[in-house]
Every structure is written in structure tokens, then in C-alpha cells.
Amino acid sequence: MNGTKGVDDRIGTDEAARPGGARSIDPRDGIGEFLRTRRARLGPADVGLPVSGRHRRVPGLRREELARLAGVSVAYLTRLEQGKGHNVSTEVIDAIARALRLTDTEHAHLTHLSKCRHQPHRRYTASQRQQVRPGLRALLTAMDTMPAYVTGRRLDILAWNRPAAALFGDWDGLSDRERNWGRLVFLNPGYRRLFVDWESKAVDVVGTLRLDAGCYPDDPRLTALVAELSSGSVEFRRLWARHDVREQSHGSRRLHHPVVGELTLPFETLRLPDDPEQCLTIHHVPVDPIAAENLRLLASWGTDPTPRESPDRRP
């Protein structure tokens, strides 16, 4: 029997935050909101512009100030923020990104948002789900001392090994629908206690879902997930409104595990070269010898060495 059942504090029912109806995530809305939130976090002094003495009605940079910094007309920037910009050049996007001091991830996100309304998007139906290659599942089995798992679109958890189940809880005991980082972090109280810095994990989850929304604005499952999380979590609504994007490829997590106590575990997240919509995350052995021993203890917890994969259930 897996000794980590305490991590899995179910929310009781999925109905707790079920959306009544979710509208499509429109990339034309996304680019305007994204640019406005990026402007709001900068002031004139931050970018070397004189600070006007008169009352400023908007937080951060005005649209005309950004236009001046990027070398475009106010009318053009207005059309772009309204989702009406056509054939936006890479040079213009780069200039706006520099003016707004975007991170590399934000820059890439802006590039995609500026072009996605002119490109076809894949539509995902309820019958379509991602498959994890047998070879990758075998790799998870071989990593019998390190928690590892595979995530797909919308941060769905697709496959995992025994140490991951020991660390994060009995994922096999959850429904296919619950097995999603957004639902776990925002709707499952056990995960709020598991992550010592819960806010940091929550920010990463929302930032990744924002990236997915930019890539797949017509994915009905993503739209329903965002509506459900918005309905069920004040914190999600707050973070979603910030329009921050993030791709956390490495770092560390502080966990307070119900069996072994506090752990700080480094992790690496790798996109699969043959399917960039799937990511392999590995929590490797920490430098701290006590934490390393606790991780080894968890890795030996339970009896089933086979990595779990989400069964082919319909939501």
C-alpha cells in the first residue's frame, strides 16, 4: 500500500468548481491584455522617459509612450492591441519586446500571439488524448530512485514512476480528470500543504497554462479547465488576470511531505524532441545527505514498480 495517501486530500467532488459554460479563449483578446499588463508594470522612469507632472490616468506606460519607444505609430499599436494588426513583422515585435523589457519566454509568447490569428489551430475533441511512448514509460521505470513524470497539454499528468507517486501522492487513485497540475494545486488542499512555497508553484502553473492558451486558443478542454479554476479559486483568478507567462525548465521545490518531513529537491524539465507538447520532469537527488536519504526512503515506499499511465477515460 502506498504510504502517501495523506498528500491526496481530495476536494470532495469535481462539481465544486464546474464551469457553467466557457467561452473560447480568443488570441485577439490575449494580445491586447498581454500588452496592457506589460505596459502597466513599467513607469516612464523605468525606460528613461521624462515623468510628466500631470495626473496619469493609467498605471505604467501609456500607449503613446510605448509606441515612441518601439518606433511605431500610436494608431498601429492600437490596432495591434485590438487584435487587428496584420502581418506584424518580426522587427516590430522585437522592438516592442525590447521596449517592454520582456523575458525570452514573454517575447516568444508575444510573437505567437501576434501571428496566431492568421494560422490554423488544431482542435482537440474529447476522443483525442496524448499517448506516452512505451520507451518513455520504460525509462520512468528505470529511474527507480528519482521521482519522474510526464506532463502534456494543459499540464495533464500522463505517466509517472513509483517514486513520483510516493512523493506527490497516489495519482493512480485519482480520476483522469483530477490528474492535472492546475486542479491539484488550486483545488486540492493537500497540495497547498505539500508545497512549502505554494505561491511559487501556483505562479508556474498559471504561467504555463497561459502559454498553452496562446498556443491553443480553441482547445475546449483548456477553456473548460480555465473556467473551472476561475470558478473554484480566488488565487487562480488573481494570477490569471496578471497575464504572466512562464516556462520553468529547472529549479528546486521545497516540499513538506507527510511521511518524511521537509525536502528541497532540484528538478529538470525537458521537452521531448519528437513531441514538444510532452515534458519529462525529473526530481534528482539533493546535495543535502539527510534529504537524499529521505528521498531514498520514499523511493522504496510501496510495492508496484510499474510507472502509472492515465487510463484512457473520457472526461
pLDDT tens column, 257-285: 988 888 889 999 998 988 888 999 999 88
Angle at 270 between CA 265 and CA 276, to 5 degrees: 150
247 or 96, which is more confident? 96
Going by pLDDT thresholds of 50, 70 and 90, the confidence category of residue 312 is very low
Q: Which CATH architecture describes the domain 27-116?
A: Orthogonal Bundle (1.10)
Which pTM does this prediction carry?
0.68
Least confident of 33-42, 137-146, 154-163, 293-302: 293-302
Which range is most confident: 4-8, 67-71, 231-235, 309-313? 231-235
Residue 129: partners with Cβ closer than 8 Å, 6 or more residues away: 310, 312
CA-CA-CA-CA torsion for 37, 43, 46, 48, nearest 10 degrees? 120
pLDDT value at residue 275? 85
The number of residues in the chain equals: 315
**pLDDT at residue 254 tops 50:** yes
Please say if the pLDDT value at position 134 is more than 90: yes
210/281 Cα distance (integer angstroms): 19
pLDDT of 198-210, one tens digit each?
A: 999 999 999 999 8
Alpha helices in the chain (DSSP H): 27-40, 63-70, 74-81, 90-100, 104-116, 134-142, 162-168, 181-187, 189-194, 198-215, 220-232, 234-241, 289-299
The pLDDT of residue 16 is above 60: no
* pLDDT given at position 3: 40
Higher pLDDT, 147 or 302: 147
Mean pLDDT of all residues in 228-241: 94
Whether residue 20 has pLDDT greater than 70: no
- Rounded percentage of the chain residues whose pLDDT exceeds 90: 33
Tell me the average pLDDT across 28-54: 74
- Tens of pLDDT, residue by residue over 167-180, are 998 899 999 899 99
pLDDT for the residue 155: 95
Instruction: For the chain, give the mean pLDDT.
Output: 78
What CATH number is given for 5-23+131-309 in this structure? 3.30.450.180
Annotated domain spans of the chain: 5-23+131-309, 27-116
Q: What are the φ/ψ torsions at residue 213 (nearest 5 degrees)?
A: -65, -35
Provide mean pLDDT across the span 137-145.
92
Q: What single letter denotes the amino acid at residue 193? A: R
- Which whole number is the average pLDDT over 294-298? 82
